[in-house]
């Protein structure tokens, strides 16, 4: 019986994305470590700096993380004086998360993080824009 030909590993898109994700985190890690941050904490800083105050539920949804992961993450950030947690005055059942002054300073200090990738890769600005558009479309489609 002849074996059915299967795609080799290098032809699996998911493997390329998986490896790329790890490579990005390796590139970001030294910069984040110098600021005492993890990658998810950095993403929280990005969201809050851009959008302003947010609820735990909204942050979890944007990061695609459950509350069981989001809440401890935010508690550690609060302990590090990066965010402030308070009851939402419009809905006592939810918690509002806001950047502290220290958190805002950290976000500003890390403003060039995306440049670590663009400087290392050989993509043009147009290719970066197209890649970002396509990967965001794929992410949206797969999360529906």
Task: Please give the residue range of the domain that contains residue 142.
Answer: 113-144
What residue has token string 């958190």? Answer: 103
Residue 84 maps to a domain: yes
| Domain annotation covers residue 12 | no
Indicate if 72 and 92 belong to the same structural domain.
yes
What's the pLDDT tens digit per position in 94-105? 899 999 999 999
Say if residue 48 is in the same domain as residue 105: yes
Same domain assignment for residues 144 and 86 = no
For 42, residues 6+ apart whose C-beta sits below 8 A from its C-beta are 28, 32, 110, 113
For 19-72, the pLDDT digits (tens) are: 999 999 999 999 999 999 999 999 999 999 999 999 999 999 999 998 899 999
The number of distinct structural domains making up the chain is 2
Verify that 103 and 126 share a domain, yes or no. Answer: no
Q: How many residues comprise the chain?
A: 144
> Which of the four pLDDT bands, split at 50, 70 and 90, describes residue 113?
very high
The whole-angstrom separation of Cα 92 and Cα 79 is 22
Q: Is the pLDDT of residue 1 over 80?
A: no
Residues 85 and 72 in one domain: yes
Whether residue 25 contacts residue 39, with contact meaning beta carbons closer than 8 Å, is answered with yes
């Amino acid at each position: 019986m002849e074996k059915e030909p299967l795609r080799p590993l290098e032809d699996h898109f998911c493997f390329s994305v998986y490896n790329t994700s790890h490579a990005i985190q390796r590139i970001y890690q030294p910069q984040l470590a110098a600021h005492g941050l993890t990658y998810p904490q950095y993403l929280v800083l990005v969201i809050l700096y851009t959008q302003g105050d947010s609820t735990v539920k909204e942050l979890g949804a944007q990061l695609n993380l459950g509350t069981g992961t989001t809440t401890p993450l935010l508690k550690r950030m609060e302990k590090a004086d990066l965010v402030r947690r308070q009851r939402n005055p419009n809905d006592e059942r939810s918690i509002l998360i806001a950047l502290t002054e220290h958190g805002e300073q950290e976000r500003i200090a890390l403003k060039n993080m995306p440049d670590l990738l663009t400087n290392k890769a050989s993509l043009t600005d147009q290719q970066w824009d197209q890649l970002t558009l396509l990967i965001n479309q794929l992410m949206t489609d797969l999360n529906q």
